[in-house]
Chains A and B, each alone.
Chain A
């Protein structure tokens, strides 16, 4: 392995729980990211992959020792493969109380049309 490959190794992260719902006009992804403020959230689209990454901000007082921990990694990461009919240029994101809501609309031409079935 070269140094470059080592550096590219992503830091360990937890997989956030999500809800994914699709309707006629688009897809809504809701993700639980407790502890992540707006400025530590990163949403990236590369090709057809959407990556959600968030870093927790610790407000631990000085000299605190952990005595019990269920959350051991201060980071969340999850990636989704999108499909072509989704319009990645119009994604709407909001983050409130540690819950991220992403709305990805479908491109106009991809919205459903009723297709008549002809009997021949």
Chain B
């Protein structure tokens, strides 16, 4: 009778994404080995890593941060991104109601191991539209070289 009240607005994809999230929470990665520094899905900030012949590119989806307060370090092949995101929620009082508080607030820290051929001295970080991009150059000697045939 009240079925229409139970269906959540939003598309099928959103529903599937939620389902996938719940499934992963219950079953984990089904016994497959995962990285020692892997974290549960949904950790802040989300990270994508790309590779080019000359560099390793790390993208951290970290909106609403002050770039001066983001700490990026490379130590013994491990890249660490840490910082703090202030809460934007007002103090709870009688005149305000908070209906959703899904956004991350507090301290965060994420670490990932870099490939062996990167040069820890040549790291570039930039922040734009809430994405922190860290570009770590590969060592010269490991970059592909064209060999001339005489």
| Chain A positions near chain B (C-beta within 8 angstroms) | 10, 12-15, 17-24, 30, 32-37, 57, 59-71, 77-79, 81, 96-99
Contact = CB atoms under 8 A, between A and B. Distances in A.
Given A35-B129, A65-B51, A22 B65 contact: no
B150 interface: no
A97 B95 contact: no
Interface residues of B, number: 45
A97 B69 CA distance: 14
A68 B46 CA distance: 11
Given A18-B103, A60-B57, A67 B51 contact: yes
B100 A63 contact: no
Contact of A81 (B9, B18, B47, B55): B9
Contact of A64 (B41, B50, B65, B130): B50
Interface of B: 9-11, 13-14, 17-18, 41, 45-53, 55, 57, 59, 61-65, 88-90, 95-104, 112, 127-131, 133
Contacts of B53: 63
Contacts of A24: 95
Nearest to B64: A99
A111 B141 CA distance: 69
B98 to A, nearest CB: 5
A34 B130 contact: yes
